[in-house]
Each structure stands twice: as structure tokens, then as C-alpha cells.
Structure 1
């Protein structure tokens, strides 16, 4: 159920009419009149709802952009990626600069949210005198929520901009001439946002005490705090065991004390509840953005005040009226295809059209994360998967659309395409976005255990997730891809970095994969290795009726009548030296410039040029 009280409450009053580039110098049309009108806790609640509304801004998480910044995303034209959209190329080629489009929008979105939080804190301070009893409890609760957002948004800025040296905005300043400030050191920023989060934790409710879906809990603040310790403790491949162990204790508490549980309701045909409308705010969700199409449809799809989600279209497959922008990298797609399923788990058994039993073609994790043409056992949009989705449109036609991420699409609603879901506008989806969930806790905890030499304990945490998806469990005595060779700290960490973490959490969270590659100290080598990997598109036989091969035509989806294509990895010895020849033979590689250009920013974004221009105190 969507929570109407949180979403869109007094939206026209609270949300400020700043542009993305001029947030610092634009006057606030609601101040100081807004704060002068605040007299009680009902008024401050309205101001606080404006802070929650800041979550709707897509540039807050910048999931689309970070897909290109990491190793999990590819351009939709893989053979000639430089024909893509300009706003994607800088991120994919790692040539982002202070004037790159959307850098300033991300910066502005986060500081706008911080302004709202500071405005709420100022309003609360204004009515604090004389409050006691239940009113004081409510005051503390509202203040804790505002502190959570101010702390979290500073943490986000610190994690992605300017090596953590960003501007600390610690109070509401209605006078625009006094808002100019220089950046603070990374250490000062960390101390500031941790203090906010620690104060918030004291008064935020436990997850079981949340009465309005979408409100933040003690668990969400604990998750952000834990991540901050892990990120600092592993920055650049270093190991600070004091910080790592602080993170470990918080992750263990999140696992054991907050009531979170892996979403294990997995149907062998329909898949998991995890990334469906019916599965919103499930037992695994820690922090989730509550989008809706129940109201606000009069606002433009690119109006960041609107409560709808563009990601269903941006990541959705073209044949379902999606835009194909958020493409999975080829290595990731193949890794999903190759995940070994547990044949002893009955959930991996499907009934074929003749009543016999057979084993699923691809893993349940793969089925829930991306569209695969091999996955003929899982219907999407109310019909057979390969009827429209998957890797069948060819490698040179339609910009090499060969797959798509599934998490943010409306594949579960039983409608023909994204255009038909709720709003009649493919760019207005009501699908929620999960920012943090229990799987991330378990994987980060496993990482902490590895650093402590607790390999079996780490495997136990990873296997909880693998068992949920009916995957082959890890065995400390025999590596999945190296039979008979035991896992040790190094090999298990490799597995976690390049299999478990990206396959479980692809395109989730706030810059999760970008930050992981950077803090592990493997980003440059990773992009170099991937740029040396070549792939070739292959095609199944087809005639004029575009039929599939007999081995694919089985079970309830045996009536598929569309040709399918596939991709295979090829050795360098088979790669033609001439680029035109490679293109003619559908041979391609990815991340060709990422390794070369990664050192430009070393995994960070620069402070936008607009800040340099408008901020009189800025000396970066």
C-alpha cells in the first residue's frame, strides 16, 4: 500500500522552485514566511514531509548514471558505443568533468534535500520550548528523521564527490548571501554525518514500530552508519581493522536484532516477490523510496518533485516500450546465465508441456534480476519471456539491444508494456526503489569476516542468499569454478567482489558498485581486464517464420515463434585486428576507454562548475 500522508503532502508549499544548477543563489520562496507560520507539531510534520519528498528526485541516487560509471553497465550499442547519448558517454568512457551534464543535478538534488532537512530542524527548534511528555517524544521523533536525511545526504555526497571533500551545511540559512561556504576535509565531513546518524538512531523507531510505510527506521540509520565505517575502513584497498570491526558489529546487529528476514517467497514460475509491486516493503527491505502513480500525474515526467519513477522505462526493454538505457554489461549477463543451480532443490524443477519434469534453464536469481532469452521458464508482462524480451534483436540493429535489467520494470503486472502500467506514460511508474536491503548486510558482513580470517563464517552468510535463490551453496573445501581447491581469504574475496556482490545488488543502492570497486582498489585493473575480453554474437537457425530451435521449444512456452540470438566469449586469437571486420562479424568488447580514463577522477565525481561559479567562498 502506498502511503499518501508522506507522499506529496503540501508539495506545492514545501518543495522549492530552485533550478538544479542555481540552488545556492536562488531565494527560497517559502522562507522566512514558512517558518514564521510554524506553530506546532502538525506544522513541523508538514515541513518534515517536504524532506521525504526530496527522495523522489532521481538524481539523488543517480542509478542510471552510476550504471555507466561501474563495470556492470554497458551502452545499448555495444559494437559502436560512441553513438550513444551524450549524457551517458562521459560516464561510460570515464571522461566526466565539472561541466558534464547531470553532475550538477546530482549535487543540487542532495543539497536541496539537506536544505529541506535543515529547514525542518529549524522549524522544530522554533517550537521546542515548553514541550513535554508525548509532545516531546513526537518532537524527538521528527527531529531524528530530519537528522537521518541530513546525515545520509552528506554521506552520499562524501561517497561520490571530490574525494569526500564537500560542503557541510549544518543549519538553515534563509539569507542567500550567507550560504556561500568552502568545502571541508573528508574527516570533518565524516564526523559531521556520523554525529547526525548516531543522534537519529537514538530516537528513530525499530522497523516493527513503523506505522506509516516509507518512514525511516533505526535500521535504516544503522545501515548507513555501518556502510560509512566499512567504506572508510577499506578505502583504496587499505584495511583499518578498527573501522572494519565497528562496521561488522553494526551489520551483526542488523542481521540479528532488527527483525529483518530474507524474502524467501520464491515461486518457480513467477519468481520472487522481491522486485514486484506486491513485494514492496517486504521483510528484507531496510530503506525504500515510495513511488506512486496514484496522484501527481499532472506533473511532467522530468519534474523531480513528482512522485513517479522513470527507471521502469529507462531500464526497460525496447520491445516492452522501454528505452534500453540501463543495459547490463555482457560479462554480467553471462555470469547470470552460468550460475550453477542446486539440482536437489525442488524449486528448480519445472513441468514441461508433456507433463514431464525438467530443470530450470537459468537460476532464479538470474530470472529476477535481468531478462534472458534462455529463461523460457519465466513469463514476463503476462506472457512468455522470449516472446518479446531477451537477446534477439541482433547486435547491430536497434543499437544492440540484447537484454535489460528487470528490477525496476513492471514485468510482474501482467500488462503488455510499460505504456499500459498505471499512468499510460512509460516514464511514470509507481514501482518502488529499494535502496538498502538485508542481502547487502549479509554480503558486507561476509566481507568483514573475510578480513578477520573467518572464511567459513563468511561462506555461511553468502550461502543464506544463495539458498534463497536455490543456487549451489559454496563449500569451503571446493571452489565453484575450481573443483577440489579450498576457498581461502583471497579466493573467497574474489568471488564476493566479482560474483556475489554484483549479481545480487546490480543497479541497487547509492553508487554501490562504483564505491565498491574504488574502495577495494581494483577498479582500474577491472576495467582493463574487461576491455581485453571480446564477445561474438551468434544466431540460432531461423526460416521465414522466425522459429526457435527444437531444444528451446519445450514446456509451457513451446509456442515461441521468434528467432533468438546468443553471445559467446571468444579468445583474443580469434579477434580480427581491423575494427570494421570485427563489426561485420558481430565481434565487440566493452569498456575500451574506461581503464585509460579511470585515473581522471579515480572513481569520484568532480564538484560541478556551477558551484565554482556561484559560490563566492569556494576555493577548491
Structure 2
């Protein structure tokens, strides 16, 4: 579905401009209106495409993945932009209008606004009913996903479920209400979305499997494991088992030439605009086909290195060898550091040069997240990477199912799903090396399995939150957590500019 990113984002407004002078209340004759746009199936499909195009906005294509990774104990920011370093990894944000954080808030609500337009207008269009149901299912999935992000980052947020106008002043909804709406949207998406799309032109669009996986995530965050189980069962042992599987090669999940593979449950689509001749940060027409995540995460001299990995988890990868006596291959896929090649800095390649050639004796204790970089096909980075962001992989689903079964007291059944993930990279089955674990011990093992399988992919924050592990005790492996205050830093502050214009909003606790 790379071509979805090529549609111009359609952001229609039904609001009029308020003014004391009625002579100024004149509609722009060149501006699209509801009456002239939402008329046929093409309009409906383009409206849905505009929702997907939200992923190319800076809040998504740059900042949100960094926030989820760097605010966890996986990473941090050593950026010379001190406000960025403080907000991303030190839990210090005196400016509640700090632009990168506000961009994430704003762009999730832009996506919600676009989804609401589809959900308000497409039902009235005379068109093929099967296509209509699918498009509405996509809109409901995407709205649920946007609220999922807001629930994890801000918690108590306004629920806007109809096309909004500039005069709307929605009240704050408490987190349980937000989760309830996410469930409602995703259940509707499950009912409306196909198991697979018939046309290759629709590759990358949301499917029933994506909706079930995200719904299971939402249930798990609320510890509703009994409600998550049937959706995960559908993916692992039911109809979805014939659609998804693990790729033979772990690194295939992060390369531009193996996108949308059998392990992909949902990924954001990025592309190179063939008409662009630059790869800088200057805004141009159709600029945002790609993502700048790689530019901000790449090592110094290649990118900005505004986000980098902690090194404590290297030992997690090295804690056991494969059945052939080799190092866990996920380490070299996950991180660039002096020993990405286990022979050392003279052999580790950093974008066409050895680590030693590029850095000499410096940077010996640093590591950078590799999965969404482009070092596998070029020796530089830029602001318009075509490398898709894999949001949900089937390996994640298998580990989610194992956690759910364990929480439901079915630990013996959970082993098989962890075994599949381990055996893909050559590790011995957990059922052989640690059989008969009790429920608490299995969860501790699963925390390790999720770390080494999903490092740097943006799931760690939700995992720590769900497990009740977000606290200042993480300081021993991430110094940024010395500033973490329980009851405050689980959530971000609502942007002050929104509070200033909307008296019905309430700030999050202790901000």
C-alpha cells in the first residue's frame, strides 16, 4: 500500500469563521465542502487514504516512535537540544508546549478528525456495501489506534467522536472511558475488515488481524486478559494462523526490500517521492512520503544521534547462546555498537566504514538502534526514508498470547508460543531449558523474551506500564529514571495551549 502515501491528504472543514462583522463571514468558493465532496466511492476511498497519510506527519514519522523508545529504559537522548534530551529521556518537561511532544498530540487528533469525517459521511454514500463496510472498518481501526497512542501517553484526553469545529470545547475523558472507546472502535473494525485484501494495491491497509492484535493490546493494558485471549487465539490457532507466520530471517522485518511480509500484522507505509531531488528538512510539495526516524536515530556523522540505546541490555542478548554455540543473531540486527560484528570495532561496519575508521577510539561505550536505519542499502541517512515502520509483528502477537495464557493460569500452554520465537533465531526451546516455571517466574522470563525480540520497536513503554515496572528503581539501568515520580510521569502533561483555549480540559495529575 505504498501508493496510499501518494494521495494528497484531504482535510475538509465544516466550520465557519466566527466574526463580529457579518461581511467577513463569507465562504471561500475554492474550498471543498461536505456537499460537493462526499458523493461517491472514490471520495470515500480518498477520505480513508487521508487518514493513513497522517503517518507521514512529523508527530508520527519522527517524534512518536522516539518518545515510546527513549522514555522507556531501552534508550535515552543525548541531544545537544537540551529540551529534547530532557523530555525524551530525563522526565523533565517544564515547557508544556514543547513542540515535538505537542506534535504527537496534535497529529493523533488530526488523524482522529480525518477518521471522524469518514465515519460521519461515508455511511450516506450510495456505493458497494462491501467496500463501504471495509472503508468504515479501516477508519474505525485508525481512530482506535490514534486513541490507543493518546491513552498510553496522556491517559485522560478529550474524546472527539464526530467531525469537530473550531468552536468545540470537549471535556477531558478519564482513562477508563478512553479505553472503552478504543474497544468499541476496534470491535467495529474487526466486524468490518477482511481477513486479507484481495488486491495487491491494498497491501498495507488495516485487516481484521491488525484490528484483533491492537484490540488485544488494549485489553492487555487494562489487564483484561480473558477478553484479549479469543482475539489472540484467532491469530495464532484460528483463521489468522493461515495468514501470518514468522519470517525465516529475523532481519527481514527491518529491510526495505522485505516490507509487508508474512510476519507483518500492521506497518506504517513510507515511500520515496520520485519527483523529489533533495533529502533535507525543507518542506516541499509532497515532502512527507518518507520518515525521518532514521536521520534522528543514526550514529553521529551519519545522522543526528538524538536518540540512542542504553547498553545494559547487550548482556541480555549475551545471556545465552544458540544451539550451535553462536551469539543471539538479534543483537547485531538490533544495535550498532563496537561489537555488532563480534570480532570488534575493526570489523563492525558503520555505513560503509569500520567502527575504527569512523570513530577511532571514541564512542566505545555507545550503541544505536539499528532496526529502522538504512545502512543495509546506502551509506547515509536523510529526512525521507522509505523504510516502513513495523508496528505489530507476528512475533509480538505470539509473545502477547504467551503472556495472556500465563496470566489466565495456562502457563503450560504458553511455552509453545515462546518456543516459536526462540527457535526462529536458533535458541533452544524454553520448554527444554526452563521447563515447569510457575506463573511469576514465567512472566519474568517473558520480560526477557520481549526485550530481546522487540528492542527499539516502541513496545517497551507499554510493557513496563502494564507490568507495573515504571518506577525510579529502573535508575540502576537507566539513569534518566532517577527523576521518575510514580503517579506523575506515567503520563505526559496536556499541552498548555489546549488548556488555555478550552476551559473544559483538565491537566494530568501533578503537572
TM-score range, shorter chain: 0.7 to 0.9
Task: Say which SS state the counterpart of residue 218 (structure 2) adopts.
Answer: helix
Paired position in structure 2 for 1:265: 248
Q: For residues 75-122 of structure 1, what are the alpha-carbon distances to aligned partners after superposition, in whole Å with 9 as ceiling and x for unaligned? A: 448xxxxx6642122231112353344221111010000001111223
CA distance in 2, matches of 1:42, 1:294: 23
CA distance in 2, matches of 1:341, 1:295: 43
CA distance in 2, matches of 1:297, 1:427: 12
CA distance in 2, matches of 1:504, 1:275: 13
Task: Say which SS state the counterpart of residue 102 (structure 1) adopts.
Answer: helix
* Structure 1 residue 379: Cα displacement: 12
CA distance in 2, matches of 1:418, 1:71: 28
- Choose from 137, 146, 158 the match for 1:153: 146
Task: Say which SS state the counterpart of residue 273 (structure 1) adopts.
Answer: helix
CA distance in 2, matches of 1:518, 1:395: 39
CA distance in 2, matches of 1:254, 1:124: 29
CA distance in 2, matches of 1:90, 1:297: 33
CA distance in 1, matches of 2:141, 2:295: 30
CA distance in 1, matches of 2:203, 2:343: 30
- Choose from 329, 336, 343 the match for 2:310: 329
Task: Say which SS state the counterpart of residue 253 (structure 2) adopts.
Answer: coil
- Choose from 208, 226, 229 the match for 2:216: 226
- Choose from 600, 604, 609 the match for 2:496: 609
Paired position in structure 1 for 2:338: 373
* Structure 1 residue 125: Cα displacement: 3.5
Paired position in structure 1 for 2:47: 47
2:309 and 2:366 in contact (8 A); partners too: no
CA distance in 2, matches of 1:67, 1:120: 31
TM-score (norm 2): 0.85
Task: Say which SS state the counterpart of residue 198 (structure 1) adopts.
Answer: helix
Unaligned runs of 5+ in 1: 17-27, 78-82, 234-242, 344-358, 420-425, 480-485, 531-590
Distance 1:9-1:75 versus aligned 2 partners, 3 A rule: closer
Aligned residue-pair number: 483
* Structure 1 residue 330: Cα displacement: 1.1
Task: Say which SS state the counterpart of residue 207 (structure 1) adopts.
Answer: coil
Residue range with higher mean Cα deviation, 273-282 or 203-212 = 203-212
1:477 and 1:487 in contact (8 A); partners too: no
* Structure 1 residue 200: Cα displacement: 1.6
Q: For residues 297-355 of structure 1, what are the alpha-carbon distances to aligned partners after superposition, in whole Å with 9 as ceiling and x for unaligned? A: 37963759711111222222235x13222311111223224442211xxxxxxxxxxxx
- Choose from 7, 18, 23 the match for 2:5: 7
Distance 1:263-1:391 versus aligned 2 partners, 3 A rule: farther
Q: For residues 157-207 of structure 1, what are the alpha-carbon distances to aligned partners after superposition, in whole Å with 9 as ceiling and x for unaligned? A: 12221xx3211111113x321x21111122222222222211121121113
* 1:464 lines up with 2:445 in the alignment: no
Task: Say which SS state the counterpart of residue 53 (structure 2) adopts.
Answer: helix
Distance 1:32-1:84 versus aligned 2 partners, 3 A rule: closer
Q: How does 1:46-125 map to 2 (within 5 A)?
A: 46-60=46-60, 62-76=64-78, 85-97=82-94, 98-125=96-123
Distance 1:392-1:339 versus aligned 2 partners, 3 A rule: farther
1:456 and 1:476 in contact (8 A); partners too: no
Q: How does 1:157-176 map to 2 (within 5 A)?
A: 157-161=150-154, 164-173=155-164, 175-176=165-166
Paired position in structure 2 for 1:553: none
**Aligned-pair Cα RMSD in Å:** 3.2
Task: Say which SS state the counterpart of residue 210 (structure 2) adopts.
Answer: helix
- Choose from 375, 379, 386 the match for 1:411: 375
* 1:503 lines up with 2:467 in the alignment: no
* Structure 1 residue 391: Cα displacement: 8.7
* 1:184 lines up with 2:173 in the alignment: yes
Task: Say which SS state the counterpart of residue 267 (structure 2) adopts.
Answer: strand
TM-score (norm 1): 0.71
CA distance in 1, matches of 2:356, 2:199: 42
CA distance in 1, matches of 2:213, 2:281: 31
Paired position in structure 2 for 1:489: 439
Residue range with higher mean Cα deviation, 447-456 or 276-285 = 447-456
- Choose from 292, 308, 323 the match for 1:310: 292
* Structure 1 residue 262: Cα displacement: 3.5
Task: Say which SS state the counterpart of residue 274 (structure 1) adopts.
Answer: helix
Unaligned runs of 5+ in 2: 14-26
* Structure 1 residue 72: Cα displacement: 0.4
Paired position in structure 1 for 2:38: 38
Task: Say which SS state the counterpart of residue 287 (structure 1) adopts.
Answer: strand
Paired position in structure 2 for 1:301: 281
Task: Say which SS state the counterpart of residue 330 (structure 1) adopts.
Answer: coil
Q: How does 1:531-610 map to 2 (within 5 A)?
A: 591-599=478-486, 601-610=488-497
2:339 and 2:348 in contact (8 A); partners too: no
Paired position in structure 2 for 1:434: 390
CA distance in 2, matches of 1:283, 1:393: 36
* Structure 1 residue 58: Cα displacement: 4.0
Q: For residues 50-69 of structure 1, what are the alpha-carbon distances to aligned partners after superposition, in whole Å with 9 as ceiling and x for unaligned? A: 11101212423711122221
CA distance in 2, matches of 1:619, 1:272: 44
1:524 and 1:598 in contact (8 A); partners too: yes
- Choose from 373, 385, 396 the match for 2:349: 385
CA distance in 2, matches of 1:118, 1:335: 44
Distance 1:202-1:516 versus aligned 2 partners, 3 A rule: same
Paired position in structure 1 for 2:20: none
Paired position in structure 2 for 1:292: 271
- Choose from 261, 274, 281 the match for 1:282: 261
CA distance in 1, matches of 2:277, 2:12: 16
Q: How does 1:443-482 map to 2 (within 5 A)?
A: 443-475=399-431, 478=434
CA distance in 2, matches of 1:601, 1:396: 41
